[in-house]
């Protein structure tokens, strides 16, 4: 998914991806 | 639990045997955060129940530019709340969930 970025920090990997609109409104 | 404006959930099913969890965090209520952050972005990360601490992960997220320093306490708290819940659930169902 081109929108996913992988960021490494101090050995931990963070995968950033968009939050689906529905999840934002639902929670 | 006091609402930090952040949401943390399991990124995958918890098989209860692995000490490493996949978690996902995103901003649910931007007004509750002090510093700049990216809206509509979920951050997926691994969290080891035995070796990691919420504060450490929050610090790394701040260092990676996801959150401002002033919000690291809220990030750590939201992770801690979810991890505590997962640990309790695991205690109730010890046999492979």
Does residue A12 sit at the B interface (CB-CB below 8 Å)?
yes
**pLDDT score of B3:** 85
Chain A interface, best mutation among B42, B55, B67, B78, by max A CB count within 10 A: B42
Which residues make Cβ contacts (< 8 Å) with residue B13, sequence separation at least 6? none
CA distance B2 to chain A (A): 15
Whether this model's ipTM surpasses 0.85 comes out as: no
Q: In what order do the strands lie in the sheet with A12-18?
A: A5-9, A12-18, B41-48, B20-27, B6-10
- The beta strand positions in chain A, using DSSP E, are 5-9, 12-18
For residues B22 and B46, the answer to whether their CB atoms sit within 8 Å is: yes
pLDDT tens-digit readout, A8-17: 666 788 999 8
Q: Is the pLDDT of residue B56 over 80?
A: yes
With residue B86 as reference, give the H or E element that holds it: helix B72-92
């Amino acid at each position: 998914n081109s929108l996913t970025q992988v960021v490494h920090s101090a050995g931990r990997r963070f995968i950033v991806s968009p939050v689906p609109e529905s999840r934002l409104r639902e929670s | 639990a006091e609402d930090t404006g952040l949401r943390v959930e399991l990124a995958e099913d918890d098989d209860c045997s692995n000490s490493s969890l996949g978690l996902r965090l995103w901003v649910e209520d931007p007004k509750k955060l002090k510093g700049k952050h990216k809206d509509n972005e979920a951050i997926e990360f691994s969290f080891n129940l035995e070796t990691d601490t919420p504060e450490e992960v929050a610090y790394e997220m701040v260092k990676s530019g996801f959150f401002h320093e002033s919000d690291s306490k809220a990030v750590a708290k939201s992770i801690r709340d979810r991890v505590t819940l997962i640990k309790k659930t695991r205690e109730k169902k010890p046999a492979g969930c």
